[in-house]
Structures are given as structure tokens and as C-alpha cells.
Structure 1
Amino acid sequence: MKSLANQFSTHFEWILNVINVGVHIVNKDGDTVFYNEMMAHIDGLNREQVLGKNIFQLYPSLTDESSTLYLALEKGIETNESIQTYVNLKGEKITSINSTYSLYEEGKVIGAVEIAKDITKVMSMYDQIVDLRSQLAETHKKSKFFAGTATYHFSDLIGDSPAFQEAISLAKKAARTHSPVMIYGPTGTGKELIAQSIHNVSARRNQPFIAQNCAAVPKELMEGLLFGTTKGAFTGAVDRMGIFEQANDGTLFLDELNSLDLGLQAKLLRVLQEGEIRRVGGSKDQKINVKIIAAMNISPDEALEREIIRSDLFFRLNVVTIQMPSLLERKADIPEIANHFIHKFNRSFVSDVQGISRKAMQRLLQYPWPGNIRELGHAIELAFNVMDAGEKTIDEHHLPAYLFPSGKYSASNTQNHHPPLINEIDLPVVLEEIERDMIINMFEKCNGNISKTAEALNIKRQGLQYKLNKYGIEKVFTGRTKK
């Protein structure tokens, strides 16, 4: 067995040097016997500087109590994914997530190994964001005239489709109480806009609104971000407010809640039940008064089935549930939403685009929009980027190629035979004209067969018959057999 290990030892060393985590191995005296390239990159040192050196020579800022390698050697204390901040030989501040294990032979500790992931840049950004939020929170407390921090209002939300209006109606009712709210729907449907709108009509509208994406922060940092930290909670930790404290008396929006670590979900549940938080490393509980709005980009049923959200937390949050419809479910709103983006990009591009051609609008209506409103906005923005100076109408050839089944538009589609949709439009009339054109096209493809046309349009035969009579479409096909 030893000969086999010796045979592969060079391969093991090669593997440890190419993996994307730092590996540092010390002997029983704390002297370095292995130090891979990634660990050298994390520490900003050369391997030659480190091999043979003692851990306290390499990391003078660490002590017997703060060095995880020393604790593993002397006390057999192992750590799993703990945050460690230290200063290297160059005087640079390094933050990593470390897992440290004792190495045994015949029951005796012969060394220790540390596996590290560099989060120095992430920690720097985290510190800046938390400090900025803390400053805003302090400013709010000191100023009697400091307005709320949410931007959007219900008046900014566009759409008349029944499913969307039902969501708006429920959101307005939810704003009247302090109960938690759960919003779910696909990415790009405007969940944060709804959350901000709820805040801005609630009794908390002049208090802080803080939004945090639970998927954007490593789980090791998330607890400190939520609840705050006390000095000494981990190496490098300082006394700092978490976002619950910063949002006190206001609203906290937790997006992508299903990405939150299950252990943190349990602590979040306690906060909801007790109305108290405790900073990481702290010993005192603090009362907080925060309205929680949570959001998920999958359905609650799927999240529960996949066990990525605790059922007790979900049922505690699920007092008011708002389902945001996809853009595919509210296609009638596309012309108005597209017109909104034209207004927006006219200002940012200093342009004077008047509207969208009918062919281009039909293309927008036919596309399924998996990225929802966000994707529609990107499509209109792209059109602004490719339009020639002086053009005032978005046509098919200005739209992204992926909107076309073949991946490109046809030459005939670039000809606009209809007047553009201008910014001041009669939306019901425009929608009726588009609907009539789509029914005529499908009626032609189905050779005037009403049943097949109704099936192709995914509407009932009686409904299609009404629309045929309404638009006088059957007259176009006199002489053909209809069934």
C-alpha cells in the first residue's frame, strides 16, 4: 500500500496544485510542509517564502486563539467553513473561508491541513455595502425630513390584464397591515417593484426600505449581514448593524428566499416569531419592528417539494401570497409596456422614437418572453442601439434576431405598410387591429376551418365565431367551406 501511495504521490501533489482552493499543510510543530499555488495566490506570497516556515512567522496577526491551524494541532479543534481575516507578511488584509482538520497517525496528531476559499474582494464589497447602509440608517434616524428609500409606486406599474390587476389589488390590501407577504413568480416579472409599491403606500413609507438578494451573498457572510456582528464574533469582526436593525420600523425585502441556507431559515423564523434579533457573537436580544416581504422565483409548491425552503418558515411568511403573472400570461399588456420603455429610452438616448410598426408589434406579441418584462425592456433597448439617426419607428429589423423562429427576419418584413404606433395611442383599437390580423392569418392557414382555427389560437369555437362576426372576417372567405 505504501509503495502504491509513493507511486501516486507526485500525482496527488499535482492535483492539490491545480484545484481551485488553497491547501496549507503543517507538521506537528506548525511548520509548513505543503503549500499549493492557490494558497500562495490567496496570501500574496511565493511558495518558496512559505515552505518550512512556522504559521506564526507567516501570519503574525494571528494568535493561539485565532489561528485555526494552531487550534487543530494543539487542541484537536476542527473548523468547518469559518471566516478568518488576517494580515500576511506584506501587510495585506486577507479574508478567507477556512476548513481546518487535524491529521492523525496511530491516534496521535502529526499535523494539520487547512483548505481555504478566498473571499477578500467579496468581503470588501460586503463591508462597503453594509457601511453605506449603516450610514443611511443613521441619517434616517437623525433627520426628521428623510424620505423613504423605495422608488416605485403602484402608479408606476403598467398593465390591465386580469391576472396582473389581481396581483396589484392584493398587494394594495397587504400594504394596510404589518403581516408578512410572500411574492412569487418568474424572474423579470417585477417582484421588487411590487414590494416597493407596498412599502410606499404603507404606514412605513417614510421609514427605510431595504432589499437583499439571498443568493448574492455567500452563506458564511449572510448571517452577519442579516443580524449584524459583534467585535470578536470571528477574526476581523467588528460591531456592526445587520439589515434587520437598519430596516427597523420599515420594510425588509428578501428576494430569492429559496436560496437562503436552511440553518439561517430557522433563525429567520425565530425572528418572525419573537420579533427579536441577536447579533452574531452577541449575547443580548434586541427588539425589532420590521415588515417582511419575501420573494421566490419558483412556486411555493416546488420549493417545498424540493425541500429548499422550510415548511414552518413558509407557512409563517405565507400570510398574504401574491402571484406575479409571466408576460406570456399578460400579452395584452405588451403594447403599453413597450411604449413605456420607448419613453424611458428616448430620455436616456436623447432620441425621438415615436412608436413601433405593426409588424414589429406582432412579432413582440408572438414571442413567449421567457425573461418577461426585463427581457422586453432589453429588446427595446437593443432596438434603440441599432436604429439609424433620425429613424422614428422601431421596425422588425431593429428587433433581436432571437425573436424570429428562423433566427432572422425576412427581407419582406422590413417593409412597413402600416403607420407606426405613436406615443399617444388608442390601445383598445390597436389591440383589436392586431387581433383581427392574427385571426385572418390563422384562418387562411386553416383554409377557413373554424374548428382548426380555434384550436390553433387556443380559444373556444364559440369565442372565435363571435370574433369572426365582429370583425367581418367570414366575408373574406365566402365561397370556401367552413365547418
Structure 2
Amino acid sequence: MLIRELMSPNVAIVAPDMSLRQAAIAMAEKAAQGAAVVDDGGRIIGWVKQSQLIDAMAADDFDGAGRRRVNEVMLSDMLILRTNMNVKELQNFDFYKYDLFPVADAANRPVGTLRQNDLVRFLTENALLITGKMRAVLNSVYNGVIAVNEEGKINIFNDAAESITGLSRKEVMWHSIDEIIPNTGLKRVLETGQPELNKPFFIGNCKIVTNRSPILKGSKIVGAVAIFQDITELQTVAAELENVKSLKSTLESAIASLFEGIVIVDKNGYITMMNQSYGEFLGIDARQAIGLHVADVIPNTRMHVVAQGGKAEVMEIQKIKENNSVVTRIPIIKDGEVVGAVGKVLFKDLKDLKMVASNMSKLQSELEYYREELRKLYTGKYTVEQIVGNSSAINYLKSIALKAAKGQSTVLILGESGTGKEVFAQAIHNASPRSSGPFIKINCAAVPENLLESELFGYDEGAFTGAKKGGKPGKFELANGGTIFLDEIGDMPVAMQAKLLRVLQEREIERVGGTKSLKINVRVIAATNRDLENMIEQGQFRQDLYYRLNIIPIHIPPLRERREDIPALCQFLLHKISEQAPNQAEGVSDDAMEYILNYDWPGNVRELENVLERAVNLMDEDEQMIIPEHLPQICKKSRKKQTLGIGVANLSDMVDNAEKQAICQALEAAGGNKSKAAKLLGIHRSGFYQKLQKYNIG
């Protein structure tokens, strides 16, 4: 600010020969505290202050004041300010010695006055403004700034210092630096006056680097300042940069070692990278191609076109020397902008492509073959039409199986061992919409209890000692999209029953040792030869799981209850056995058939097959029919018992007939209501339905 902007234009002007009284009157008229004494040309030659006039007039009487002149009391040694002088220049003078300053223009004519109080107020306000600006600047810088006075007490502590140290400015101001942050080195700088640059220092977990410098006023040390920066983040960035450099070096080495030719260009088509394989193909040193335009290095190239247009060109034919090469050109896009392109020689000659295509065709054929073999391995062999038997019971079960196959509901197949439960399960699968999917079976009784869960649901890598690397899928995963057959479900441990129930309810599994659930789309068919209802009463089988499984029950009657199917089964089984046996049997003689029909077959169809296979192997080469001598003794004993009178088979028939009559009477009494009929008989409703199915009662 200039003096003219701060001065008061109110100035009294007196001549040196004026009396003190006249001077006092002139100052009073201007209400001024002083008057400028000017010569005849109006140039200032002295200064008279109001206090001087008062002192002189007090020393004389009034008449004396009228006689004394201004030049007798005026001050010739004074500080005259110029209008165009900057206020800051006053700091070069001892302005505090004067309480009032005359202000003159360039011709030294008085034009105003400036009071010391006005000057001090301006300088104070200006100093506060500058201090505020300095504080704002210090608080806006990224680096921390801490300054101390000559006593080592903190007088500057900016926002960045607060952030880095975690200390509040209010808590640290005017406290000793060593009390707040020990070992900062600022006390040492105060003592030595020597700056300390780029010194590492720790504040808590932050690693900082600091510059410490003394604050000098003239040659005297009046304080010290430390400017520091948290380099923890910088070290992280530096480490990341090193990783990027290492990755870049690795990528360059990988590209250089590739057998295929690789070239990379910028958006203007200039080569930034080319591996040696491409260089050898072109007959040049790949390093010398860097920086050259791609069109000057590679014949018939379109790399620069792709780099400009951003459209990929895949599997294109390009003439390179004498070869019709197959190449691919892909644009490099960064933040939505094409910044270059990468080219790759897929095949140096079309003959190589044809050779690969031929090999691929062979591999595809092999893949299809193994895929078909795998499908056969995981697909059911039997259909409903292949189920042997024409009895009313079997025909009824076939119709139930076809109806069950249309839906997705769980099927529970009940029956004695050897009755053909798995055959029905496969038939249902092959008649269902899932027939193209896998048919996976597992015998719940054959797998040890500690392995059953991993067999059913699989396991992840590291789930247990000896677990296969990469883990292993379970039967449910393998059956996804198809059917899983849980044979001997009645032998499943109770703990596993709870887990199976959750799978049936949620339709998702979790591998052993796994952390995430897998959704599955599997139809469940279960089978057992055990009485599940009795097991429920004994606490050996979960009732809720039974209800979940027993949605569509199928009870396969034993062979002794459908003896009319035995001749057809014998014919079917003999044809099957003859394919592998040394002898060919055309059939069973009447005598042998009589024994077979009268035997109870506790092992059912499986036992019948074993007996027939034994008989075929005992036949002589010239024999074509199975005769009684080929049958085991147990089959003959059964007939002998029956010839003596009422045997076990007859007693069984009598029990079945009595049971059938009781059911019919109960239905008649209940008016056809099956639930009431079951209550009248005192049996469970599901058991009642099984007996209805057994006796083919509508």
C-alpha cells in the first residue's frame, strides 16, 4: 500500500516567520496536531508539532507567544514521507520515534500527514493478514511442518503434521518439542545451527523423511523448522513399481520365448515389441525392428490398419515371403481407446493348419467315442419293456413305473433281496425326460460309514489326510441332470440320514471340507429290502426322511408270489447265461421246471439266475435241456416236502388269501375309504397301500 492511500490530506501550513499564535490558530483551523513549515516556494523546510507550541506558549505569556516565531521552535530534522512511497519501506526507518509524519509530493510540497497510530494499526493488520495467509499455505501443503522458537517450544504445527503424528495443534502449541515428539533433532539444530537433510524418522508406524533447518534473524538463531513427509505410502508405491517392472520383464521374456511370432505396435503403427521367433521368420534381428513402422518391416501387414480402426482380424491369410501364413491381429484397448495392436502368427504355412485340423478331427472322434463309452457306463441298461414277466402284479408295477417316470418325484422301491429293484430303477430313469443324463448308483450298505459322506457329496482338496489334489466330486454331483439310485437306503447311518434329508429338501450339497453350497438337479430313487416302518418305531430310521422318500412307493413282490413269471424268467436268464457259458441250454425240462416252480426262492430272481447258471455248467455237451439232476438238492427237497401234505408254500398262500380277504372286507366296511380301512385293520396307511399294490386291489 502507498502512503497516499493511508495519509490524511488534512495538513496545516505555516511560514517560518509566523508567530506561534498565528501557527496555533492555523493548526486549530485544520484541527491538526502539527503544521508543515514551508519556504516562499511552498517546499517543506520544517515541522511544528502541537505539543511544541503548547510547551513554548506555556513558557511565555500570551504576548510573548505573539512575538516568538515559528522558526525558533520548528524541527528541521524530521522524517518526510513521499506520497508514492510504499508503507513497507517505513520498516527500514526508525519510524516509531515519531508520532506524526508530514507527507510531501515529488516537489516537496506538503500534501498531508500520517499518524503513527494509523501506521501501526495498518502494519499490525497487514501482519495478521500475512500470518493468516502463511497459516493457510502451511495447512494446505502435503508435507508436515513443525517449527520451534529459540527455547525449543512449538509455535507452528500445520494440518499435515496433525494428520501424520495424530496429535492436535491445541495440545502441542507452546510445549517443548522433546516432550511432544522425542528425538526430532530440532533441539540439535538449535544448538549447532546446521541443517539436517533427508533424515529418516519413525512416528508410530509411519516412516517419514525430514529436512531440519535453523531459522536465522541476521546471524542469530531464533528457531528451527522441520519439514517432513510420510513415505510409508511411497514405499508401497515403490514396491508396486518394482513388481510392475518385474512383471514387465517376465512378460517380455515370456513373449520372447514363444514359438509363435508376436509383434506389438502403437496406435500409429510403429513397432514397440517383436519376439525373436517373428524376427527369425522374417529373416531380421527383432531388436532392430523396434521403432520402425510395421509396414516397412512385415510384408502385406495390416497391423497399422487394426491399430487405427480398432477392429480385430482373426485367422486371416497373409503372404509373408513364400508362405501363406495364418495370422491374427487384435487391437489393444485401454480406457475405451485404441492404443495399439498385437499380432500373432498362428501358422507359418497353411500346410501346418491342415495338419492341425486333421489331428483335431482324430481327437474329436476319440472324444466322441470315450464320451459314448462314459454315457454307457453311467446310463441304465434296462427299460420297462425289458422287465420280464406277465403276471398281473408285474404288469401293474410296469404301469406304475411308467407313470412315475414322467415326473420328478422321489421313488421308493421296496422288495426282498434279488427281486430286481435296480432293474426297475433303471427302467424308470430310461423312461423319464432325464434318460439322456447320467444314472449313478451307490450301495449305502457297501460303503463304510466314515466314507459315505464323501462318496455321496464329494470333498475339497485338503479336506482330510490323503484327499486327492483338486478334490473329488460325489455321486450327487456326478448325477446332476440325471438320476441317483440309493440302494439299501435302510442301511444308511442315522447321522447320514439327516444330511440326506437336507439335500432332498434344499436341492443343494456341500462337499466335505468345502465352504460353499452347490445347487443340484437330481432325481432320487431309493431302494431297500428292510421294513422301514418297523425301523422308524425302533428309532433306526428317520420318519421325516421316510416321508420324503416314500412319495411314489413301488413294492416288488417276491418270486414265490408270482410263480407264473418263472418260466419266462428262465428263458430270459438262460439266453443271457448261454452267451458266456461253455454249454448252450435250449430250455428247462418239465420235471426240472416242476421243481423250480415249487421252490420258494428266498433269493428271488438272483437266486434263480445262480441256480440256472450252475445247471448249465453241469450239463454234458450232448445235453440241451436242464433236467432235475442239474438242480441243487435244496430245490428237490422243497418238492418232497410239498408231496407229503400242506407245506410252507401252501401255508404262505393261505396267509396271503386270508390277508387279501381281510383287506377287501375292511374296504367294504369303510365304504371304499382307504384311510379308514387301514385304521380298521390297525396298520399304517403306507403299509396298507403297499398291500393293495401287492394283491392288485384297486
Shift of 1:308: 2.3
Quote the sequence identity (%).
Answer: 44
Shift of 1:392: 0.8
Question: 1:156-186: per-residue Cα shift (whole Å, max 9, x none)?
Answer: 2111112222222111111001111100100
From the superposition, tell whether residues 372 and 295 of structure 1 become closer, same or farther in structure 2 (CA, over 3 Å). Answer: same
- Whichever structure has more strand as a proportion of its residues is 2
1:354 maps to what in 2?
586
Q: How does 1:206-221 map to 2 (within 5 A)?
A: 206-221=436-451
What is the SS of the residue equivalent to 1:150?
coil
2:396 maps to what in 1?
166
Give the whole-Å Cα distance in 1 for the aligned partners of 2:372 and 2:621.
48
Q: Contact 1:214–1:256 (CA<8 Å) still a contact in 2? A: yes
Shift of 1:300: 2.9
1:199 paired with 2:429, answer yes
1:185 maps to what in 2?
415
Give the whole-Å Cα distance in 2 for the aligned partners of 1:200 and 1:354.
31
- Listed as ranges, the gaps of 5+ residues in structure 1 are 1-138, 410-437, 447-453, 461-483
Q: How does 1:290-369 map to 2 (within 5 A)?
A: 290-369=522-601
1:271 paired with 2:503, answer yes
From the superposition, tell whether residues 188 and 316 of structure 1 become closer, same or farther in structure 2 (CA, over 3 Å). Answer: same
Q: In the alignment, residue 342 of structure 1 is paired with which amino acid?
A: L
From the superposition, tell whether residues 359 and 307 of structure 1 become closer, same or farther in structure 2 (CA, over 3 Å). Answer: same
Q: In the alignment, residue 235 of structure 1 is paired with which amino acid?
A: T
Shift of 1:350: 4.6
Q: Contact 1:185–1:299 (CA<8 Å) still a contact in 2? A: no
What is the SS of the residue equivalent to 1:231?
coil
Shift of 1:455: 9.0
Q: In the alignment, residue 174 of structure 1 is paired with which amino acid?
A: A
Q: Contact 2:415–2:421 (CA<8 Å) still a contact in 1? A: yes
From the superposition, tell whether residues 375 and 456 of structure 1 become closer, same or farther in structure 2 (CA, over 3 Å). Answer: closer
Q: Contact 1:401–1:407 (CA<8 Å) still a contact in 2? A: no
From the superposition, tell whether residues 214 and 354 of structure 1 become closer, same or farther in structure 2 (CA, over 3 Å). Answer: same
Q: Contact 2:494–2:541 (CA<8 Å) still a contact in 1? A: yes
From the superposition, tell whether residues 170 and 397 of structure 1 become closer, same or farther in structure 2 (CA, over 3 Å). Answer: same
In the superposition, the TM-score normalised over structure 2's length comes to 0.38
1:222 maps to what in 2?
452
2:515 maps to what in 1?
283
Give the whole-Å Cα distance in 2 for the aligned partners of 1:344 and 1:252.
26
From the superposition, tell whether residues 184 and 406 of structure 1 become closer, same or farther in structure 2 (CA, over 3 Å). Answer: closer
From the superposition, tell whether residues 161 and 214 of structure 1 become closer, same or farther in structure 2 (CA, over 3 Å). Answer: same
What is the SS of the residue equivalent to 1:348?
coil
Shift of 1:248: 0.3
Shift of 1:234: 1.6
What is the SS of the residue equivalent to 1:340?
helix
From the superposition, tell whether residues 349 and 232 of structure 1 become closer, same or farther in structure 2 (CA, over 3 Å). Answer: same
Shift of 1:317: 1.0
**Aligned residue among 482, 485, 488 for 1:253:** 485
Shift of 1:333: 0.7
Shift of 1:299: 2.8
1:393 paired with 2:625, answer yes
1:426 maps to what in 2?
none
What is the SS of the residue equivalent to 2:416?
coil
Q: How does 1:434-445 map to 2 (within 5 A)?
A: none
Q: In the alignment, residue 389 of structure 2 is paired with which amino acid?
A: G
1:236 paired with 2:471, answer no
What is the SS of the residue equivalent to 2:485?
strand
Query: Which region of structure 1 is more displaced relative to structure 2, 351-360 or 390-399?
Result: 351-360
Q: How does 1:12-23 map to 2 (within 5 A)?
A: none
What is the SS of the residue equivalent to 2:501?
helix
Give the whole-Å Cα distance in 2 for the aligned partners of 1:240 and 1:455.
53
Give the whole-Å Cα distance in 2 for the aligned partners of 1:377 and 1:196.
19
Give the whole-Å Cα distance in 1 for the aligned partners of 2:464 and 2:653.
61
1:435 maps to what in 2?
none
2:88 maps to what in 1?
none
Q: In the alignment, residue 351 of structure 1 is paired with which amino acid?
A: N
Relative contact order higher in (CA < 8 Å, ≥ 6 apart): 1
Look at both structures and tell me which one has the larger radius of gyration over its CA atoms: 2
Q: What is the CA RMSD across the aligned residues, in angstroms?
A: 2.8
From the superposition, tell whether residues 280 and 455 of structure 1 become closer, same or farther in structure 2 (CA, over 3 Å). Answer: closer
From the superposition, tell whether residues 286 and 382 of structure 1 become closer, same or farther in structure 2 (CA, over 3 Å). Answer: same
In the superposition, the TM-score normalised over structure 1's length comes to 0.55
User: Paired residues, what number?
Assistant: 282
Q: In the alignment, residue 251 of structure 1 is paired with which amino acid?
A: T
Q: Contact 2:583–2:619 (CA<8 Å) still a contact in 1? A: no
- Listed as ranges, the gaps of 5+ residues in structure 2 are 1-366, 658-698
Q: How does 1:44-63 map to 2 (within 5 A)?
A: none
Shift of 1:406: 7.8
4+ runs deviating over 3 angstroms: 142-148, 406-409, 454-460
Q: Contact 1:326–1:372 (CA<8 Å) still a contact in 2? A: yes
Shift of 1:407: 10
From the superposition, tell whether residues 164 and 300 of structure 1 become closer, same or farther in structure 2 (CA, over 3 Å). Answer: farther
From the superposition, tell whether residues 234 and 393 of structure 1 become closer, same or farther in structure 2 (CA, over 3 Å). Answer: same
